[in-house]
């Protein structure tokens, strides 16, 4: 018997115009957590999709318990004990938890010796056992759509456990979880380790990696860099290996000088009584205003209200001293306001369209000639300028945006809004799910925009990001503004104190 439950050797995978995996290897020991790290575009997810049968390797071998195997599709992967919880969940909300867990492999029974039907009684009984096994107090007959995103992710893990997996791939499992939910996930992971399951853990969060992992494999530009025991690693060492250079400073120097007030919000209140209320703040020209708060603080809801996505019951918005009315996003865009949404895949990119389409979609009216014809030459110039300005890595402007890494997708979305030359940019979690190298590039873009005189409102759940990038920080709790902190005076402690300032 091999000491490894699964090995991938000399894996090579290419797509048109790009080599995604260049002779990569991976070795998984039973009962361990093996972190897979690298910048966006390093090839981590591609390697896992080869293991799970979503992609077919051009070259390379997979061994399970020392025996060479072939995996042509996810069904074969599941049969061989490999399960995967994807970063982008694909639940069926209208069906029950039990039905989602056993989707595609329902237990069957004969009726009257003639008809084969789903054995619902057995399915729900088995689902109940699996949910208890992973410490989830859910009714398996409950509709999946009634759960939160984090709870749906827990159901996905239960689904993997129900398949008696020996290898479990977790791709960015904590990107949408609160701290309490992260702790619950870690307890599940520890339980699975004790049962001998090998877990591949993909994450950009260094503290999680160093805490939960036994081994760490680092990839860069589709190549295998090395594997090390997690206990021997430091954050600086991991970053250096990931990006191929030392990052002496996580945040770029800022040369912006905030000027006069250009954007004001006064007494802004949601039509929903449980959302934001009585919000007042302003933003200066060339200022980066950070927005802090815990889950449920209603930061995103407030910005969506300002941008015309949500309805308000009262409140005034002033732009350059003049009161403006925003009833829909088009009104905001017409007034020089742009918004980068929190959910990049759900409400940001248009995955089936090209990079060029995604960059130009918000400014197409600038490229219409004779009322009906698009000037594609000018659109290509726009795309080329954005590719160079923001270092967007893509084989061509015709490449589908869904095939780019998260960091490059985010840069495309920023380019989309910059094509309109806005004065105010609302950035909601601009670096979520992005590696440390791509984060620095995004930070540099934000700092440069502020230097040019753009007013930036940046929501972030990362304290270090807010402190490192903001001129001022507005803190919210339970739908209210609880205080403002000058960027120079901001600490994790004083931000957290205001973020937990609930009304009695």
User: 240: Cβ–Cβ under 8 A, 6 or more apart, which residues?
Assistant: 246, 247
- The neighbouring-strand residues paired with 290 are 458, 473
Reading the block at residue 120, the tokens are 């619902």
Task: Give, for 52, the enclosing helix (H) or strand (E).
Answer: helix 44-52
> How far from 357 is each of 52, 372, 403, 408, CA to CA, in Å?
31, 17, 14, 15
**DSSP designation for 350:** -
Confidence of residue 258 (pLDDT cuts 50, 70, 90): very high
Position 178 confidence tier, pLDDT thresholds 50, 70, 90: low
pLDDT computed for residue 432 by the predictor: 77
User: Crossing angle, helix 235-243 and helix 436-451, to 10 degrees?
Assistant: 80
The better pLDDT of the pair 347, 152 is held by: 152
Lowest mean pLDDT among 86-90, 246-250, 449-453: 246-250
Q: What is the pLDDT of residue 419?
A: 80
Give CA separation, 203 vs 69, 247, 333, 442, in Å.
Answer: 27, 19, 35, 19
Cβ–Cβ under 8 Å, residues 468 and 251: yes
Rounded CA separation 40/406 (Å) = 6
Is residue 422 a contact partner of residue 338, using CB atoms and an 8 Å limit?
yes
Kindly report the average pLDDT of the chain as a whole number: 87
Identify the architecture of domain 249-336+422-504 in CATH.
3-Layer(aba) Sandwich (3.40)
pLDDT at 108 over 80: yes
pLDDT at 123: 92
Distances (CA, A) of 389 to 155, 251, 371, 415, 456: 42, 19, 30, 9, 19
Alpha helices by DSSP H, listed for 272-337, are: 299-306, 329-334
CB 88 within 8 A of CB 43: no
Whole-number Å distance between alpha carbons of 410 and 431: 8
Q: Do the beta carbons of residue 331 and residue 308 sit within 8 Å?
A: yes
> In whole angstroms, what is the distance from residue 218 CA to residue 36 CA?
6
- Give 176's pLDDT tier (boundaries 50, 70, 90): low
Structural tokens at position 137:
């107090």
CB within 8 Å of 114: residues ≥ 6 apart: none
* Residue 245's pLDDT band (cuts 50, 70, 90): low
Quick one: three-class SS letters along 404-469? CCHHHHHHHHHHHHHCCCCCEEEEECCCCCCCHHHHHHHHHHHHHHHHCCCEEEEECCCHHHHHHH
pLDDT, tens digit, for every residue of 5-53? 999 999 999 876 678 899 999 999 999 999 999 876 788 889 999 999 9
Higher pLDDT, 62 or 406: 62
Which of 275 and 296 is assigned the larger pLDDT? 275
pLDDT band, residue 349 (cuts 50/70/90): confident
- Specify the pLDDT at position 17: 66
Out of 164-178, 302-316, 327-341, pick the least confident.
Answer: 164-178
| Residues comprising the chain, all counted | 504
- Contact 169/52 with Cβ under 8 angstroms? yes
Each residue's pLDDT tens digit, 372-408: 787 888 888 888 887 777 778 788 788 888 888 777 8
Nearest by Cα to 109 from 101, 100, 120: 120
Give the separation between CA 256 and CA 211, rounded to whole angstroms.
Answer: 37
Query: Alpha-carbon dihedral of residues 223, 229, 234, 239, nearest 10 degrees?
Result: 10
For every residue of 46-105, DSSP letters joined together read: HHHHHHHTSS--SEEEEEETTEEE---SHHHHHHTTEEEE-SS----TTSBHHHHHTTT-
Q: Is the fold of 6-243 the same as that of 249-336+422-504?
A: yes
- β-bridge mates for residue 37, sequence order: 218
pLDDT at 88: 65
What pLDDT is attached to residue 363? 78
The CATH architecture of the domain made up of 6-243 is 3-Layer(aba) Sandwich (3.40)
Lookup: tokens for 226: 């090395």
One-character DSSP codes across 276-344: --SEEEEEETT-EEEEE--TTS-HHHHHHHHTTSS-EEEEEEEETTEEE--SSHHHHHHTTEEEE-S-H
pLDDT at 212: 92
CA distances 319 to 3, 260, 455, Å, are: 65, 12, 11
Structure tokens at 390: 């923001």
The confidence band for 414, taking pLDDT boundaries of 50, 70 and 90, is confident
Residue keyed to tokens 């997979």: 62
**Half-sphere exposure of residue 203: CA atoms within 13 angstroms, side-chain side:** 23
Residue 119: burial class (beta carbons within 10 Å; 0-12, 13-18, 19+) = middle
Number of H helices, E strands in the chain: 17, 24
Q: What percent of the chain has pLDDT over 90?
A: 46
User: Can you give the residue ranges of every domain in the chain?
Assistant: 6-243, 249-336+422-504, 348-421
Say whether pLDDT at 183 is over 80: yes
- The SS3 of residue 222 is coil
Which pLDDT score, from 0 to 100, does residue 438 have?
75
**Nearest partner of 281 among 296, 295, 299, judged by Cα:** 299
Lowest mean pLDDT among 97-101, 255-259, 374-378: 374-378
Mean pLDDT of 421-426: 92
For residues 326-343, give the mean pLDDT: 90
The predicted-structure confidence for 216-239, as pLDDT tens digits, reads as follows 999 988 899 999 999 999 888 888
Give all strands of the β-sheet with 59-64 in edge-to-edge order: 18-28, 6-15, 59-64, 67-69
Q: Which pair of structure tokens corresponds to residue 439?
A: 């984060």
Mean pLDDT value of segment 186-214: 89
Mean pLDDT of 283-298: 91
Task: Tell me the pLDDT tens digit for each residue of 187-198.
Answer: 888 988 999 999
Which pLDDT value is given to residue 369?
Answer: 79
Q: Answer whether residue 504 shows pLDDT above 60.
A: no
Contact at 8 Å (CB) between 472 and 485?
A: yes
């Amino acid at each position: 018997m091999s000491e490894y439950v699964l090995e991938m050797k000399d894996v090579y995978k290419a797509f048109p115009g790009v080599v995604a995996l260049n002779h990569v290897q991976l070795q998984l020991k039973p009962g361990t957590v093996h972190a897979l790290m690298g910048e966006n575009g390093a090839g981590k997810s591609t390697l896992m999709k080869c293991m799970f049968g979503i992609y077919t390797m051009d070259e390379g071998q997979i061994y399970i318990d020392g025996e060479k195997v072939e995996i042509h599709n996810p069904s074969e992967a599941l049969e061989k004990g490999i399960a995967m919880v994807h970063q982008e969940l694909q639940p069926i909300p209208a069906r029950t938890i039990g039905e989602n867990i056993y989707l595609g492999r329902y237990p069957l029974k004969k009726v009257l010796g003639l008809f084969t039907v789903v054995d619902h009684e057995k399915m729900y009984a088995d689902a109940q056992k699996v949910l208890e096994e992973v410490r989830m107090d859910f009714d398996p007959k409950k509709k999946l759509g009634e759960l939160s995103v984090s709870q749906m992710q827990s159901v996905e893990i239960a689904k993997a456990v129900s398949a008696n997996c020996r290898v479990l791939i977790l791709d960015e499992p904590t990107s949408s979880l609160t701290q309490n939910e992260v702790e619950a996930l870690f307890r599940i992971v520890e339980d699975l380790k004790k049962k001998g399951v090998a877990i591949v853990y993909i994450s950009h969060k260094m503290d999680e990696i160093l805490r939960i992992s036994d081994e760490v494999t680092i990839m860069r530009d589709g190549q295998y860099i090395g594997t090390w025991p997690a206990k021997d690693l430091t954050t600086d060492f991991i970053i250096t290996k990931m990006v191929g250079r030392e990052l002496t400073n996580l945040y770029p120097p800022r040369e912006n000088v905030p000027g006069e007030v250009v954007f004001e919000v006064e007494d802004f209140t949601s039509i929903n009584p449980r959302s934001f209320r009585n919000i007042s703040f302003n933003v200066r020209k060339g200022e980066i205003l950070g927005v802090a708060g815990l889950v449920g603080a209603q930061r995103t809801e407030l910005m969506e209200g300002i941008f015309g996505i949500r309805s308000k019951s009262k409140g005034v918005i002033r732009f350059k001293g003049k009161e403006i009315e925003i009833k829909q996003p088009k009104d905001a865009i017409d007034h020089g306001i742009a918004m980068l949404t929190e959910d990049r895949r759900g409400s940001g990119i248009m995955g089936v369209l090209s990079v060029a389409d995604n960059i130009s979609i918000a400014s197409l009216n600038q490229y219409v000639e004779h009322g009906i014809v698009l000037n594609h030459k000018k659109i290509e110039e726009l795309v080329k300028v954005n590719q160079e300005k923001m270092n967007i890595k893509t084989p061509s402007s015709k490449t589908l945006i869904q095939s780019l890494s998260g960091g490059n997708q985010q840069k495309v979305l920023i380019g989309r809004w910059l094509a309109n030359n806005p004065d105010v940019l609302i950035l909601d979690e601009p670096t979520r799910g992005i590696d440390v190298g791509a984060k620095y590039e995004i930070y540099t873009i934000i700092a440069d925009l502020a230097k040019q005189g753009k007013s930036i409102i940046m929501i972030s759940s990362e304290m270090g990001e807010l402190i490192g990038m903001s001129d001022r920080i507005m803190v919210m709790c339970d739908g209210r503004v609880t205080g403002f902190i000058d960027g120079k005076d901001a600490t994790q402690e004083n931000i957290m104190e205001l973020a937990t300032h609930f009304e009695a």
